[in-house]
Amino acid sequence: MLALGLALGSGATIVARPPSVAVAQPSAMQMQSHSAGDSEMNAAMDRMMQRMSALKLTGVQDRDFMLMMSLHHRSAVEMAGVELRRGSHPELKGLAQNIIKSQKQEISQMQTWLKTWYKVGS
């Protein structure tokens, strides 16, 4: 079996396998928490992964892309909220505010398209 590994700075490794190889995946991200903020961000990632795992993909690329990206963006908004509550650098707080604004706009746009084109959420 061919598998490609990518070592991450945290010591974790991402392994890419051919799509025909079924591999059990953990239901949530397994990252070490060092603070309450870390725990909150990990919880946001866990929720995203659980929601993505529960999605019923259809093979309609545009629809599935928007469903998954909406969940991804929701997680980004949650993590940016943690930064606003717990972060200390004004530059990062500004970035977090921009992330919240732009990601919410994109979520709204995708929800409109999902409803209009695929009757999702109607």
Ranges of each domain in the chain: 35-117
| Beta-bridge mates of residue 6 | 14
Closest CA to 52 of 68, 29, 30, 76: 68
From first to last of its 122 residues, what are the pLDDT tens digits of the chain?
A: 344 444 444 444 444 444 444 444 444 445 676 888 888 988 888 999 999 999 999 999 999 999 999 999 999 999 999 999 999 999 999 999 999 999 999 999 999 999 999 999 86
- Tell whether pTM > 0.75: no
Answer for the pair 103, 76: CB distance below 8 angstroms, yes or no: yes
CA-to-CA distance for 85 and 93, rounded, in angstroms?
A: 9
